[in-house]
């Protein structure tokens, strides 16, 4: 294996010093799939050296969430990183990242972080931004790659980088899907065969909505809702058509760039998906 693996801060410091040119980082929680591989490929096209972080961050999980059962596949993850030409993997344990336990000082995701995912997962984005800030400080990249699949997370990381002058470029990577439309996600491993079939309603709803996007927001919302109500095993948490910067609902007369976001429970698994689209008016 030519990928260097660092588990401690000292190992990271030594390995980071050896990286040359532009450095990119791809942050993950492990259980890597082709979506993560795509982030790495984009990072390699853009930068001279690529770091992947693999860290299941306890700070972003609520007390009743799936931290304990989250898939852990480190050996396969390291193989994927090696295959994809990753220079350095940083895979610390929680005590390396949080030596004093829960940090007393955290990054606040503010009002944007309290909406949608944040409303269903209180404190989630404070936990995400805190670990992303720490990983940016530790790995010192010029550019960081994040998936559009986690649209609210991407928006908040961009805002943090701008608002707090991190000086790191944030690059978005479009959502990678299975051929049948399902957005790749580490949590797809929880789905039974029936769940997986049921879960296809999410991407089907997004596509149905996109097909009528020129008719405006009402048509878009209705088309997506119609698909989801036809699938009673999908328990919708939210389905919203919002302004990509504010995450506020776009009004009925709106024309321009919007994003349709969905979160739903399928069986015991909570899934999210989204589709950016230009709504209203000519194409």
Ligand X SMILES: Nc1ncnc2c1ncn2[C@@H]1O[C@H](COP(=O)(O)OP(=O)(O)OP(=O)(O)O)[C@@H](O)[C@H]1O
First to last CA, the chain: 48
Reference 261, options 121, 271, 29; nearest CA is 271
Which of ligand X, ligand PAF, ligand BAL, none sits in contact with 131, Cβ below 5 to 8 A by type? ligand PAF
* Using rule CB under 6 A, residue 60 touches ligand BAL: yes
Query: What is the nearest approach in angstroms of ligand X to the Cβ of residue 259?
Result: 14
* Using rule CB under 6 A, residue 136 touches ligand X: no
Give the ranges where the chain is alpha helix by DSSP (H): 9-18, 34-46, 74-83, 94-97, 117-120, 124-139, 151-163, 193-211, 217-229
Give the ranges where 98-187 is alpha helix by DSSP (H): 117-120, 124-139, 151-163
Residue in 131, 155, 191, 263 binding ligand PAF, rule: CB under 6 A: 131
* Using rule CB under 6 A, residue 187 touches ligand X: yes
Residue in 6, 12, 23, 35 binding ligand X, rule: CB under 6 A: 35
* Residues with a known catalytic role: 36
Q: How far apart are CA 98 and CA 96, in angstroms?
A: 6
Count other C-beta atoms under 10 Å from residue 44's C-beta.
Answer: 18
Q: Which two tokens stand for residue 251?
A: 């009004």
Residue in 132, 144, 227, 247 binding ligand PAF, rule: CB under 6 A: 132
Q: How far apart are CA 27 and CA 40, in angstroms?
A: 10
Across-strand partners of 272?
Answer: 263
Nearer to ligand BAL by C-beta: 49 or 91? 91
Q: Which of these segments, 120-128, 144-152, 199-207, 221-229, binds ligand X (CB under 6 A)?
A: 144-152
Count other C-beta atoms under 10 Å from residue 174's C-beta.
Answer: 12
Q: How far apart are CA 81 and CA 30, in angstroms?
A: 11
Query: What is the nearest approach in angstroms of ligand X to the Cβ of residue 123?
Result: 17
* Using rule CB under 6 A, residue 109 touches ligand PAF: no
Count other C-beta atoms under 10 Å from residue 163's C-beta.
Answer: 11
Reference 214, options 143, 282, 119, 146; nearest CA is 282
Interacting residues with ligand BAL between 104 and 163 (CB under 6 A): 150, 153
* Using rule CB under 6 A, residue 173 touches ligand X: yes
Residue 187 is assigned to a ligand binding site: yes
Size of site (CB under 6 A) for ligand BAL: 3
Do 146 and 170 meet the contact criterion of CB atoms below 8 Å apart? yes
Nearer to ligand X by C-beta: 134 or 149? 149
Annotated binding site for (R)-pantoate: 60, 153
Q: Which residues bind ligand X (CB under 6 A)?
A: 28-29, 35-36, 38-39, 146-147, 149-150, 173, 175-176, 183-187
Q: Which residues bind ligand PAF (CB under 6 A)?
A: 27-29, 57, 60, 128, 131-132, 150, 153
Q: Which residues bind ligand BAL (CB under 6 A)?
A: 60, 150, 153
Annotated binding site for ATP: 29-36, 147-150, 176, 184-187
């Amino acid at each position: 294996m030519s990928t260097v693996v660092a588990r401690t801060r000292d190992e990271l410091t030594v390995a980071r010093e050896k990286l040359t040119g532009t450095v990119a980082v791809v942050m993950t929680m492990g259980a890597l799939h082709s979506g993560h591989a795509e982030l790495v490929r984009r990072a390699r096209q853009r930068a001279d050296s690529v770091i992947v972080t693999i860290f299941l961050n306890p700070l972003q999980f609520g007390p009743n969430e799936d931290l304990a059962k989250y898939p852990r596949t480190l050996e396969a993850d390291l193989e994927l990183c090696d295959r994809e030409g990753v220079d350095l993997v940083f895979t610390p344990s929680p005590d390396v990242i949080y030596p004093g336990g829960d940090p007393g000082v955290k990054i606040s995701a503010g009002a944007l972080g309290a909406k949608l995912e944040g409303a269903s997962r209180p404190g989630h984005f404070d936990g995400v931004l805190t670990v992303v800030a720490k990983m940016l400080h530790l790995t010192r990249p010029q550019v960081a790659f994040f998936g559009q699949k986690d649209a609210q997370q991407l928006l908040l990381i961009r805002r943090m980088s701008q608002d707090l002058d991190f000086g790191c470029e944030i690059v978005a990577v479009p959502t990678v899907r299975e051929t049948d439309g399902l957005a790749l996600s580490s949590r797809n491993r929880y789905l039974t065969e029936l769940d997986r079939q049921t879960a296809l309603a999410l991407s089907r709803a997004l596509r149905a909505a996109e097909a009528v996007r020129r008719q405006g927001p009402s048509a878009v919302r209705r088309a997506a809702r119609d698909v989801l109500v036809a699938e009673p095993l999908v328990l919708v948490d939210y389905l919203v058509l919002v302004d990509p910067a504010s995450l506020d609902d776009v009004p009925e007369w709106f024309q321009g760039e919007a994003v349709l976001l969905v979160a739903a429970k399928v069986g015991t698994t909570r899934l999210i998906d989204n589709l950016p689209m230009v709504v209203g008016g000519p194409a």
